[in-house]
Structure 1
Amino acid sequence: MVHYVTVATCALNQWALDFQGNVQRIAQSIRQAKALGARLRIGPELEIPGYGCHDHFLEPDTTRHSWEALGELLQDKTLGDIIVDTGMPVLHRNVLYNCRVLLLNGRILLIRPKMHLANDGNYREPRWFSPWTKQAATEDFVLPPAVARITGQRTVPLGDALLDTADTCIGVELCEELFTPQSPHIAMSLAGAEIIVNSSGSHHELRKLHRRVSLIAEATLKCGGVYLYANQRGCDGDRMYYDGAAMVLANGHVLAMGRQFALADVEVTVATADLSRVRAFRAANASRSLQAAGRDVPAYPRVQTDFSLSPDFAQLDASVAPTRPLKTVAYLRPEEEIALGPACWLWDYLRRSRLGGFFLPLSGGIDSCATALIVHSMCRLVADACHAGDAQVLADLRRCCGDPAYTPASALDVAGRLFHTCYMGTANSSAETRGRARLLAQSIGSYHVDLDMDAAVSAIVALFTMVTGGPAPQYAVHGGSAAENLALQNIQARLRMLLAYLFAALLPWVRQSSGGPLLVLGSANVDESLRGYFTKYDCSSADLNPIGSISKADLRRFVAFARTEMQLAVLDEFLAATPSAELVPLADGSCAQSDEVEMGMTYDELSIFGRLRKVDKCGPYSMFVRLLHEWSDSLGPAEIAAKVKRFFYYYAVNRHKMTTLTPAYHAEAYSPDDNRFDLRPFLYDTAWTWQFACIDRAVARMTKA
């Protein structure tokens, strides 16, 4: 008997609470899977309501509408003759669970609740759901009457069980469970499950994809078997971008993998696996066989169905062949991830907000340059999708532009419609930054405005002196105090935010566009945010920030990558320029301000501080100890201590600024995004008296020794 099984896994661009759109995308994926010969289809975690509902999961409406949406899928006759694994919240005995619901021909086979909930970083699943703690046990779940009338069932099994088909056995695990030390797939595989399905809502972080692939490859290499991994793709309505890459693996090899970044709402990845190879692989592993025959393997309840995943033939049929494993898995470089991830996120946000495009204050520095390049990358993706015949992307683009007949000629053509940039200069701005901003705008096709706002700055200073009756404040280079110097810089920075929103609201009106107002983009990188090296409510305050969780070092590498890949020679000037806010008077016509000099630390050092603080959970003393070993070749204990104390002082004194950070694309594990990813207070004792004293005593001991 030949046991070839064709299976499908999906990456869907679902949207929180968009039940109508979510059901349509699920149904489309099932039909595509059937057309490709699949007999089993799995989709992303919580795909019916959308993963990012957050506190909406606590509302009974969300569960109610999920059942209504499931009812539509159950009644659709075109979705039959394939096992469908979909996801939604389920309330069982007044406890809310994050569940997979397995369907076949208008009936529910099994409801499998999640057993290990994600509760770190961006995830708060225990806030809404409870874990299912009864391993290898099920209970009867009473279906809502409306659903019971559709399926003809009063109760269905809910719990930790295996699904027996006529030809194989299927086990279910959910997202976080793969990452736990005792993953459910181990016991399920030992109990005879030959196919494991995993539906996930896993977000993009730079350099993260390889971890997913290696975990699944290792699981199937140790246990044997076929593993299907589904993932959401797109912006679900928050800061995260779910990066797809749905995949099928068997016996440690990747058979098929979907794209990590794409604008398509539905992508189905199909592979045909040979179950006889799974059985031979397992039988040849004596240690596995010994464990599988042991007493400690859970006795899973088994849900029986006569449905078969294999074709109905006993002899070899040349028309059906197993999928050959991929020779290599192509991992994107971080520079490529920056070019694609935030660009796809911006497109989702723009089309779903139904606004007319983006507005970016373009300073001539590396950060706003990188932000502009990400928008340029988005325009390239949109133009390519339109030229490839993606009707959904074209319809969304036409709606954003307010032109139902528009078809883009190129990426620059798209930018000319959607992207607006502005150089907001003052007497403190250099000719070099103004020129770089203008040349970049020309190179990527944005609608560019160049202005000087000295009159507005002078008017605010004049108003202050008139009200107070005092002297006009002066810059430090003109004899002014530190307070005067800082206030004059902040006036310029905050005026840029005011002007950005004014131009974002009225530029489409000036251009007689019917596409609507613009979304304002910020461009503060993660390192500046971490230290608080920006003005509160300045032009970093915006609607969205594509680079708010990306380090300066990674941004520079991205710009260098774009120089070659996007063929933009102007980027050489950005890479050579010294980072500067340009908020103080020029010295002989040249910039007299350097970001790294003013901060007292380099951007590379800030990245290290950020990772030690957030990822490695270091306070001041433990950070000092770690850096004592890592930097000992170039710095002495006293110098390292001074840098650590300087960082923590400015981190503490500026922590309040994190409460106003613009919503930023999540890309780094040390993001300082307040109240969502980084749950720390914003009022500190900036002296760190006890902690710094510990460092000082350690330095004194080492100095004496």
Structure 2
Amino acid sequence: MHKYGFVRTACAVPKLKLADCEYNVGEIISLATTAFNQGIEVLLFPELCLTGYTCGDLFFQRELQKNALNALDDLCRWSDGKKILIVVGLPLVIAGSLYNCSAAVNDGRILGIVPKTYIPNHQEFYEKRWFASSKALVQREITIGSQTVPIGTDLLFKNAQMEEFVIGIEICEDLWMPIPPGSFHALAGATVILNPSASNEIVGKSDYRRELIRSQSGRCNLAYLYTSAGFGESTSDLVFGGNAIICEKGVLLKELPKFNLGNEILVAEIDIESLIHDRQSQHTLLDSMDLIKAKPYRCIIFETQETDDFEGDVNPHPFVPRDPNRRSERCEEIFNIQTMGLASRLKHIGNAPMIVGISGGLDSTMALLVCVSICDRFNISREKIHAVTMPGFGTTDRTYDNAVALIKGLGATFHEISIVEACKAHFKDIGQPITLHNVTYENAQARERTQILMDLSNKLGGIVIGTGDLSELALGWATYNGDHMSMYNVNASVPKTLIRYLVEWVAEHSKENEIQKILYDVLDTPVSPELLPPDENGKIAQKTEETVGPYELHDFFIFQVVRYGFSPEKVYFLAGKAFEDVYEKKIIFKWLKNFYQRFFSQQFKRSCSPDGPKVGSVSFSPRGDWRMPSDASVTQWLGSLKKMETTIKN
């Protein structure tokens, strides 16, 4: 997994007995054994887990302090020869003061001790009764048994096999501060923050806590593991739910339900490579480096096992949320961005008429729906939308009927302008046989349609609304200076897989039954430019996905290549996991190769694409997100694929 930048991490919530260190370390070792056998590299336990968090004044008892150290020693002896990093909590006496600490244990050694910095002493918390802050600590090393161990909040733990896998530790309340210690750790190079915690449950707290963890992981471009105390803690006044959360770059990967009975493990693969990619591209993190210039960090190396098994969940449709509620919210937000983007442009140029070509396909339908939304929202007559259907050699009855019914049903101004005679005359002018169905035959039709729209917009004093989507831009599946061109493209940064859900979302919220029926039929229509004649049954003969490949695959490739800059090998690996039960590996490989060839060769179209609103994390605007030379060579990428080709099996 290190080859692809992944590490396997876990949070563990043990079942504890208060002040019974021998029992507690037994439960901890049992969970650690399970984790080690699962190939886990980093395992986080709750705050003060060797003693229990709610021991109260028993923390001052020498017996408890001594037994906590004995338990830590037991854990060290168990870990000897095992390459797994384990973080546990215990009270430590240092220079006459008691500190709430986390110990990092690896392969029989205590690598370092991190004391808690912010000691809560408000409402239900009164930790200052027992513990001193790390700010009072003077020593940089302490002796535990026969080991001399670094101690402090300036410790980072770096993996020996993957140097970008760097861990920082902060404890519970540290996270709740305006500038958590973890923020400094991130500036110093930490890509993973561990937070052993003991956070009690009260109404509404878990939502805030989850958002705090999620936002910190996003703000600092890192993975965040959080484990809280659970079953076995005192319930005299408080209840601890044993909550565990793993987030990565603002996304909640996994969460352990609260109020479990303990001895639970929450496992998640972390993609270190994606974290590093975002840090390389977002330099604002470096602009805060002056905050740590006066605080040099000490780096401690740790070793972990590496497993070949990948158990991570790879979303085959990364642009589309899996949860239906979130997907609906996402569709509404995107639709509003498209609407407001075009509305602002129209206002700037004097509320000009909107001219849009309607084919009966997904993309043009989406563009028309945005135009209708503008009219309804700003009390503009829908007649100001000039929707044009332009039948050609490949137009089928199904798409034509849907286009006409949609335009008339939505109340837009209807135009029908056939391109057949104009194309025949043009073919005659340039000496193109009408029976030769080559690229000239196809592109001439697309350019004729664009010419009609542009000239009609001049006649009406309007603006041509583009319909092509992000997936088509990536593949160059557009005719240069044909459907590639418009005056404002509302679909420019919406991928094909998401367009489908957007149209479906509008259909579901439509109050007009006939319009709803048409939209569902559009959704069921094969994707096609309809530039080649229909088959003998009058059905669509030219199906885009048979030529360029499935759009769901290409959208997956776009996300991994453009969003994260992953290598061809990693993209293929992830696609194999995401589409394991959908496509054979050789099919995935075939279309991945096709993707790279088209993506590089078609950049010249993206370099001069029209204005359009950005809606997500991937955009090809040459004025913003994507700067790539049109003559860049694809040789290295295809070379990597060629090396893999002999290993590809079904």
TM-score by length of 1: 0.45
Give 1 or 2 for the bigger CA radius of gyration. Answer: 2
